[in-house]
């Protein structure tokens, strides 16, 4: 495993996502093409909290899934053979939400690739808050060439 830390600037060198849809603040561990661990600080400043839900802010599950997909995307796109490509979210299965995520929580998101081919693959991951699993599941992805 590489001794690796990537802040949001380094993440944006690899990933095409930008505010308000960049859902990862830091990569803590990285094994290119195999595995990544990321961090997402959940703050009341997130635009989705204005409507989800006023007076009782809860992070939408679909955005937790997206944060996991982005951490997985970092693992995939960090592999030399995938540099400069676009990773697309292709599917989701066996996803479960176990706890509510609220402002002030810090998500630790771990994704490992379980199957990879030239243009597609699968990963399995979990999201923790204070060492407690709040969500887990499997994601499918497809790789695409970027249009320049």
Which pLDDT does position 118 carry in this prediction? 84
**DSSP-assigned letter for residue 144:** E
**pLDDT reported for residue 146:** 83
CATH 3.10.129.10 fits domain 6-144: yes
Grouping H, G, I as helix, E, B as strand and the rest as coil, residue 123 is strand
pLDDT less than 70: residues of the chain: 1-4, 148
Could you give the C-alpha distances from 25 to 84, 94, 128, in angstroms and in order?
Answer: 21, 26, 15
What is the structure's pLDDT at 12?
A: 95
pLDDT of residue 147: 76
Mean of per-residue pLDDT scores for the chain: 94
What is the predicted pLDDT for the residue at 117? Answer: 87
Confidence (pLDDT) at 1: 45
The pTM is what?
Answer: 0.94
pLDDT at res. 3? 54
**Vertex 110: Cα angle to 19 and 62 (nearest 5):** 50
For residue 139, what pLDDT is reported?
A: 98
Q: Is 17 a catalytic residue?
A: no
Tell me, what's the pLDDT at 4?
Answer: 66
What pLDDT, in 10s, does the model give residues 28-65? 999 999 999 999 999 999 999 999 999 999 999 999 99
Beta strands in 20-145 (DSSP E): 26-31, 35-41, 86-97, 106-116, 120-129, 132-144
The one catalytic residue in 17, 52, 85, 122 is 52
Domain boundaries, the chain: 6-144
């Amino acid at each position: 495993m590489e001794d690796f830390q990537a802040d949001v600037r380094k993440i944006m060198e690899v990933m095409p996502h930008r505010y308000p849809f960049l859902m990862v603040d830091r990569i803590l561990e990285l094994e290119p093409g195999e595995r990544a661990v990321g961090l997402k600080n959940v703050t009341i400043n997130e635009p989705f909290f204005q409507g989800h839900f006023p007076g009782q802010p809860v992070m939408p599950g679909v955005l937790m899934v997206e944060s996991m997909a982005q951490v997985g995307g970092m693992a995939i796109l960090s592999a030399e053979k995938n540099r400069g490509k676009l990773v697309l979210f292709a599917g989701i299965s066996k996803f479960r939400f176990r706890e509510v995520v609220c402002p002030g929580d810090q998500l630790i998101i771990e994704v490992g690739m379980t199957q990879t081919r030239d243009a597609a693959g699968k990963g399995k991951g979990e999201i923790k808050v204070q060492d407690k699993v709040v969500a887990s599941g499997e994601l499918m992805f497809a790789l695409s060439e970027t249009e320049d």
